[in-house]
Structure 1
């Protein structure tokens, strides 16, 4: 009969017996009459029509209906019914003794038991009925008891047999349940219906333990199978349930567990040394941690998860059951505690390499003792008895005049171990040694991690001032880092403490002979150089290109001139920079007497150096004349563009390291170009031994950093070199910079380039001088313009005039070097040239090196696309632009550098190019470099231009007016 959802109704659940499947549940809705009583109208409800009756259902009802749908015969057989038989027919075949399939029966029962269990657990607060034979779903109501009943299992042993039976109590009262037509609805766990009441049980009693007693008072166990029965059944029952026994003893152990970590060993594995390299024929064993819990005399492994354990003891004719009641919450607490200490033993054994294992024990000893967690060695491990006591190391470092004295005390329990012995073991990668009592002490791995670098850099010192192990003063950062980690006690003078923070270094007066002003960050750099000077530390001034490394070094050299008038310093640099240094020195330190030690005509006599304050030379000359240069003891040796010695195996690196001096300084915008070894070579030059030997550095830093991406090693390396590197990025000192900084970069012609230049210059000098005798100026001006243009082109690169030229160009080398420097520092640069062919040469190089760039000349059709690429693409750092094409309509505010490859007579054109970068919206300070080739018409025009502007007081606006302004003397000077 159909039930109306518009009228009052009640959802009910009905229990019925299926012919093959046993007890099943089904859901129904029953119409209520006007007095709220059940009527005869009812209908089955399933997941399909349940939404019609949503007003009378809650979330649990929807779940119950779904599970009951799944236990109906159609749903049960669907998975197994491959031949598509009718469900009833399929079940008859499966359960018929003649055709039965036990496997499918078991699978069906497993599924139904799971569904019954879920249904029963969710029936509280619902109405449950037994279904009548006529299909009436509300034939007889079953009361669902709210509390769980308890079961007590009884054993009564006598001389002949043992009686076994269970009793049930509900809310403390004995329940009469036998011989009362009781039945089990579910076995796992047990749900029992007695007198139309549904009972569930504490401790998840299995229904099969109750089933035999529904219509039987007890079970008799004969004497002959007694022992076997007690061992297999009674011990298992005792572990999980409450048992009352007569005729044998049950002893219960109730106590708090004590956690014990047992140590044992695993087969060994290849071992690495202090630096992570595999050592041949040396193996390091692994130590296994196994967590046990001790309850009185009984011990259990942590992974044995039973709440209670029962063991049977037979004494004569008597049986004694020992039951240990474990505390799973307390055991979990210990497991979680050890996991938090990075020892996850809760689920079983856990192994660590030996030095790490004993390091863990040593580091966590106090925490373990506070929780009363004991450590036991199972037996001798591989014939060794290990020392499990406290291992301590204390290191004290004191500042001496020229080094740090290092004192260390190492103790294993009451045994004090000589420091030199432990250091030797650490350096060899060995982790264990024998104590006087025969126990084996294992060096904790944390000592390897914490002290390996320091122990590697220690040196033995034996003289009247000190004896024992010392640390060079330039390893101050290493000592300070260990001090910050509370790993040693460090005593420093107040002054040396300031090296920790550049901002605390005192302000030094600039020398009187220094002409000019230093920007604030340059003055800070000068202060830092003076501080290093006092402690005779070497330094690396690594400011971004254009921030004035030269002027800071010159200020230091001016101070040295005042402090040590008789001393001579040596400055080594690429050949192309020598003229720039000469000009800068004349400008800022005119009082310095300078010897330029270059060229084929140089006098190879080291005694001459003493007559000068500063000797300028190139890397090439230093390499060739190393035997002459090393005869002289210099005050300072300064390397400019010191990346020239980045390869420690190169001839030039070896050569400069042979030179003798009081102090060293290097200047570079790119201290690391290719890899970490670049750093070692340069740091080793300024502070020999700072990073150890080359081999040690590879093992200690290079391999962990480059191959394993070890950030801790990278941080340690950075801390060691930080006091000796001053690096300011352009972005960091932007507030100290003017809006734009214009610098002239002088290039030196290569010999082939100089030869080409002289040939063209001689030709035009004769031609113009001969034409000066002829009337009319037009021919002379045309010839002069043509000659000056060709000389300018050769000053850039002779290929601009002679396509067959195969030599190099000094200017191109400088431009390429500075392009690479700016790009590697992450800056964007505009490169302007009046000659498209000059851009083509630069472009050819960039293509060969796969360096991305933007390009614009008069033939470029997608101007805006090139501008957008430069402005928005972070990978494009270089923009090549012809002066003519880039003079108007460009807004390139991302550029931080502007390179003018061929400055010329009209400053207005240069200003226009500069303004492409220096526009409204520009957030960066702009550095402008004019590339001028030394001893060429470029340099002479620039000098002439300055003179003409000073006389005229205004810019020369046209080429024609410029040519007309040239006198005969001017022309002869240009072509001299």
Structure 2
């Protein structure tokens, strides 16, 4: 028996490493958990030494190896799930620790260099656990010619944090269904050309809109109301439609439709690629229509990106810098606004957009893809080939998927008489939605103001915000001095509102009399100058999409900057400003009204605000704010007058995070007072001086509350 026991004991000594490994796997999770806690504690104490970094990297490598082994190891599914759950818990701790230290975070990158200390520590841990180490890697000799440096890729820190929060999540490409091949009658036919011809041959009365269901308000937030034509598209998305070429005219709410369609389709994360001038507006509209969905706007190199947001908004100009991480983000929906920006398929931005949409389609089951544009479908139809490709309807040479099937099902070829009408309908049924203002006039007000917030980037924006802070600081000092010199009636707490208005009145008086220096009037002029290019860009977009546009500005240098922008873009305009002779002014008006090639009327808000008839346009751009609602209304009424056949939309360009926003709010509030006064109430219509005073008082109050929030109580 003793000899038998000795033989059994000896047998245990000769058990292969592989058998020991299986038997001691539970110890691996415990050791990893204990080690990662040690690293976490060191990081919290701020003592991330080289030894701690080596331990961190060794744990990360061992964690990856262990998870790969557990996924393929034999055994019950319940045991495997339990092990994976424990490993993911360790990974979460590892990720949270790395987020607080850039040095540790870099060690988790796929291309991170593995230190000798980390590699040695990992091997030691494997030996202690009875795990057979992988064969020693043999260093490869340096190539004679160094490879080209990889393309620079920006990955925002917060996006890395998102990945680390679930480091094992990978796209399931097998979930995307593979379409069964079927015999193609049209395989040897050139079909794209006839498809384009089908739109060019369409009669004037041919519909350019898919059949839409009854509108739904199911996804509309409380307190908001969709117009019926908007609710129809959302209902289509809720019913399962997933590709849309939404070509409604400007002013019909395409942004809201896209956001609620994403909600109906649960297409999150959602990527919105938009022109720079509407980037801020997209964030505002997302907060309004989908308030429970976090939204992040990508600026420049993405330092402020929220990697955990449901909606990511960025502009075309920076798409090339961010394409890498966007492609790996896992989007289930993508929207391109002003989609005619990608009409040139050879341009970089078009190639980036098409590559991203292709990646989304390949890794997502029925993603939501939406192209938004106000450009009429019957103009330059070849420009829409890139949009069709973005939506997955075609590739470079032929129809794909549902479009190919629909064309086959017609039973026709391009040689048949009825092919063009049938083919055009096949494209429209895939998701073309086109409504004009006149078509849905009953849905929308005859006159409305739509605010378009824009970000003032660069040196001009920083300078304006700094000047606003200086103005507020000057008034705060004045307020505090006056408060300190008072001998009675000093309020026990809170803000002395009467004193605030006295200080604001004194500041306004100084500004009115000043010949130089920074004040509220020079600040508004600088804001107008900074907005000029953005406002002109938007007016040019409107002109291309919806026809003639009236562009209003208050200062001549803002008009000059806008006209220079139109000239660079090849947009013809007429100029209506003070100082013109009567004949010259009328010639400019006639050119805008009668010449179809003159797309924009650039007008002085004061000189052209009255006495003109410009109802040939139904879109107005207010590049600068007036100090009164009456002046703003007079400008809008140049188009909204007898003879106007369409609802009029005034697009008010507002500089976000500046005094511009406060002025817009005050103008709107005074508008109600003016309406009541005109209806016979005793209210007085506010003058421009009162609005200016209110703006300065509000700026001072905001500064006081920022310095001491307790003053609000």
Please report the TM-score for the alignment, with normalisation by the length of structure 2. 0.57
**283, 288, 295: which is aligned to 1:582?**
283
Aligned residue for 1:926? 648
Aligned residue for 2:77? none
Give the drift of 1:581.
1.6
Cα deviation per residue 1:287-314 (whole Å; 9 max; x = unaligned)?
xxxxxxxxxxxxxxxxxxxxxxxxxxxx
Aligned residue for 1:794? 526
**623, 637, 647: which is aligned to 2:344?**
647
Q: Distance in 1 between matches of 2:669 and 2:387?
A: 44
Structure ranking higher on relative contact order (CA contacts 8 Å, 6+ apart):
2
Give the drift of 1:771.
5.2
Aligned residue for 1:736? 443
Aligned with 1:929: secondary structure?
strand
Aligned residue for 1:725? 432
Give the drift of 1:509.
5.5
Give the drift of 1:848.
4.5
Aligned residue for 1:846? 566
Give the drift of 1:739.
0.8
Aligned residue for 1:453? 191
Aligned residue for 1:354? none
Give the drift of 1:664.
1.6
Aligned with 2:271: secondary structure?
strand
Q: Distance in 1 between matches of 2:215 and 2:506?
A: 63
1 or 2, which has the higher helix percentage?
Answer: 2
Structure 1 residues 601 and 589, CA gap change in structure 2 (3 angstroms): closer
Aligned residue for 2:689? 960
Q: Distance in 1 between matches of 2:386 and 2:293?
A: 30
Residues 438, 645 of structure 2: 8 Å contact kept: no
Cα deviation per residue 1:736-795 (whole Å; 9 max; x = unaligned)?
332112100111113122133244335544544455547986652134566122222222
Give the drift of 1:578.
2.6
Aligned residue for 2:113? none
Aligned length: 463
Residues 642, 671 of structure 1: 8 Å contact kept: no
Instruction: Give the greater-gyration-radius structure (CA).
Output: 1
Given the alignment of the two structures, is residue 632 of structure 1 paired with residue 337 of structure 2, yes or no? no
Q: Distance in 2 between matches of 1:712 and 1:875?
A: 36
Aligned residue for 1:525? 233
Residues 829, 898 of structure 1: 8 Å contact kept: yes
Give the drift of 1:603.
6.5
Q: Distance in 2 between matches of 1:854 and 1:501?
A: 35
Q: Distance in 2 between matches of 1:746 and 1:594?
A: 16
Residues 208, 433 of structure 2: 8 Å contact kept: no
Give the drift of 1:550.
0.6
Given the alignment of the two structures, is residue 973 of structure 1 paired with residue 678 of structure 2, yes or no? no
Given the alignment of the two structures, is residue 883 of structure 1 paired with residue 605 of structure 2, yes or no? yes
Given the alignment of the two structures, is residue 540 of structure 1 paired with residue 245 of structure 2, yes or no? yes
Cα deviation per residue 1:831-877 (whole Å; 9 max; x = unaligned)?
11111221122223334455332322221112333333333333333
> Aligned runs of 1:145-164 on 2, under 5 Å?
none
Structure 1 residues 721 and 945, CA gap change in structure 2 (3 angstroms): same
Give the alignment's Cα RMSD to 1 decimal.
4.1
Q: Distance in 2 between matches of 1:717 and 1:817?
A: 36
Cα deviation per residue 1:35-63 (whole Å; 9 max; x = unaligned)?
xxxxxxxxxxxxxxxxxxxxxxxxxxxxx
Aligned residue for 1:615? 312
Aligned residue for 2:12? none
Given the alignment of the two structures, is residue 678 of structure 1 paired with residue 383 of structure 2, yes or no? yes
Residues 514, 558 of structure 1: 8 Å contact kept: no
1 or 2, which has the higher strand percentage?
Answer: 1
Aligned with 1:875: secondary structure?
coil
Residues 671, 678 of structure 1: 8 Å contact kept: no
> Aligned runs of 1:417-566 on 2, under 5 Å?
427=188, 451-453=189-191, 502-503=210-211, 505=213, 508=216, 510-511=218-219, 513=221, 515-531=223-239, 534=240, 537-561=242-266
**749, 755, 758: which is aligned to 2:462?**
755
> Aligned runs of 1:98-497 on 2, under 5 Å?
406-407=182-183, 427=188, 451-453=189-191
Structure 1 residues 769 and 831, CA gap change in structure 2 (3 angstroms): same
Q: Distance in 2 between matches of 1:838 and 1:624?
A: 32
Residues 907, 955 of structure 1: 8 Å contact kept: no
**272, 284, 297: which is aligned to 1:596?**
297
Cα deviation per residue 1:476-507 (whole Å; 9 max; x = unaligned)?
x99xx9xxxxxxxxxxxxxxxxx997336465
Structure 1 residues 788 and 571, CA gap change in structure 2 (3 angstroms): same
> Aligned runs of 1:768-917 on 2, under 5 Å?
768-770=475-477, 773=481, 780-784=507-511, 787-797=519-529, 809=530, 811-825=531-545, 827-861=547-581, 862=583, 863-917=585-639
Q: Distance in 1 between matches of 2:535 and 2:420?
A: 33
Structure 1 residues 672 and 646, CA gap change in structure 2 (3 angstroms): farther
Residues 596, 616 of structure 1: 8 Å contact kept: yes
Give the drift of 1:636.
0.9
Structure 1 residues 505 and 745, CA gap change in structure 2 (3 angstroms): same
Aligned with 2:637: secondary structure?
helix
Aligned with 2:438: secondary structure?
coil
Aligned with 2:630: secondary structure?
helix
Residues 265, 368 of structure 2: 8 Å contact kept: no
Residues 670, 686 of structure 2: 8 Å contact kept: no
Aligned with 2:437: secondary structure?
coil
Give the drift of 1:545.
1.4
Give the drift of 1:911.
0.9
Aligned residue for 1:351? none
Residues 549, 618 of structure 2: 8 Å contact kept: yes
